[in-house]
Amino acid sequence: MHNLALQYSNGEGTEKDLGIAFYWFQKAAEKGHEGSMYNLALQYDDSEGTEKDLGMAFHWFQKAAEKGHEGSMHNLALRYYNGKGTEKDLGMAFHWFQKVAEKGHEGSMYNLALCYDNGEGTERNLEMAFHWFQKAAEKGHEGSMHGLALCYNNGEGTKKDLEMTFYWFQKAAEKGHEGSIYSLASCYYSGKGTEKDLEMAFHWFQKVAERGHERSMHNLASCYYNGKGTEKNLEMAFHWFQKAAEKGHEGSMYGLASCYDNGEGIEKDLGMAFYWFQKAAEKGHKGSMHSLALQYDHGKGTEKDLGMAFHWFQKAAEKGHEGSMHNLALRYYNGEGTEKDLGLAFYWFQTTAEKGYKGSMHNLALCYYNGEGIEKDLGMAFHWFQKAAEKGYEGSSMHNLAFCYDNGEGTEKDLGMAFHWFQKAAEKGHEGNAINHILITNGANNVILNNFSKIFQNGLVKINLLINLFKKHN
């Protein structure tokens, strides 16, 4: 009966007829044939030769599983796991995955490992998860190879071992596992568990990008954009940013917008740049939020709208974007797109300055120096002018730091240090500093006699500054 059903099912020796195949599978199943029970369940599951009936599929998988049929045990476990044809029951799913895994079924070994890894139907046990991933991986199961690589990568259930991570990603990648192909490319890109090899990274990103893997499409675009692992090709970068963006990848939406904004790989189109910055911003991409704010601020690709610029600077700032934090502070300081609020300006300058943003360090120093949004504190003003100057903030902080030393504001008076910072600021092109350091070094009389014409020829100082400095040093 079973063999006759198979002949009808496969069209071997007779015309294919799933209805007749169903009839004979049913007859044999009712007589206790395990294989027919299994095939009958599949026909109910796939509506082949009969109407779809998940309850009956579950019934026959269960009957065959109880007789020891491995495929039915595995399918019965899946039914309990997904609540398909029966109520969801993770405990029973674990029970049947375990039963058939112990018989050597690769798929159930993998699912049993996942149960242990996620604590589903049993207590979480990373060592047992590793054990079953390893057992199935050694039998050639792709998903388990990938899971085993992740165990080694994260040090879960075993010691962290990047070489073994690379080994198993490579094994799974060679069998076509998309996640492992991507991870293998990432290993080559960063030199993780193997020598850095940008050409191999490009090769594997390309392999899986062509299969529709979003993150690989994005990374392939970045390789083309930056000329890493291949020749720089802005047209191909645009192509792959576009492909990934259309699949919803936020980073590629940003990359695509930037291509349109700068005319890279495509004709410049500010309207399209605005469109894609907006799409990515609405998905929560903080770089795109910042860029969208700038588009509104400058009226690029859309009408100028300071209120919307403020809105998106605020959104990006709340996600930790330093440039937006600084710009948000400036909006509060100047009352652009929102009401002027020196307290909030100070807060955001401080928050960004503590993250190392030079412009905010300088503005924070000015807040302390002028008592804006905070009590006047020359010591703190000196501290932040110094921090900004040491990070190379051009001109202003160096210049103000020099004056702090020159006037003994927030620190002890130190003409040597004043000279040092006036000179540094002068080298950065800050107006007025060449005369300052010459005055301090040579004395005002010598300046007037020897350097007056030179100073004015170079356009470095205004007459009022010269008079004030002359009075101060004589």
Question: Helix 396-407 vs helix 358-370: angle between axes, to the nearest 10 degrees?
Answer: 40
pLDDT at 24: 76
Task: List C-alpha distances in Å: 175 to 111, 141, 142, 157, 180.
Answer: 19, 9, 7, 24, 9
394 falls within a domain: yes
The C-alpha R_g of the chain, in whole angstroms, comes to 35
Helix-helix angle 234-246:214-226, to 10 degrees: 160
Q: Read off the pLDDT band of 219 (50, 70, 90).
A: very high
**SS3 helix, strand, coil % of the chain, rounded to 5?**
70, 0, 30
Tell whether 289 is covered by a domain.
no
Are 260 and 252 contacting, i.e. CB atoms less than 8 angstroms apart? no
Domain presence at residue 362 = yes
At residue 436 the predicted structure's pLDDT band, cuts being 50, 70 and 90, is low
In the chain the first and final C-alpha atoms are separated, in Å, by: 118
| pLDDT tens digits, one per residue of 92-105 | 999 999 999 999 99
450 in any annotated domain: yes
Our count of domains for the chain comes to 1
CATH assignment of the domain containing 400:
1.25.40.10
Classify 133 as helix, strand or coil: helix
- Alpha carbon distances (Å) from 63 to 40, 66, 75, 86, 88: 11, 5, 12, 14, 18
pTM (global) more than 0.75: yes
Average pLDDT over the chain, rounded to an integer: 90
376 within a domain of the structure (yes/no): yes
Q: Does residue 20 sit within a domain?
A: no
> Which pLDDT value is given to residue 395?
59
Q: pLDDT tens across 323-358, in order? A: 999 999 999 999 999 999 999 999 999 999 999 999
Q: How far apart are CA 126 and CA 181, in angstroms?
A: 24
Tell me how far the alpha carbon of residue 186 is from its chain's centroid.
13
Q: Is residue 368 a part of any domain in this protein?
A: yes
Q: What is the pLDDT of residues 227-270, one digit of tens each?
A: 999 999 999 999 999 999 999 999 999 999 999 999 999 999 99
User: Is residue 350 included in any domain, yes or no?
Assistant: yes
Provide the domain limits for residue 432: 341-463
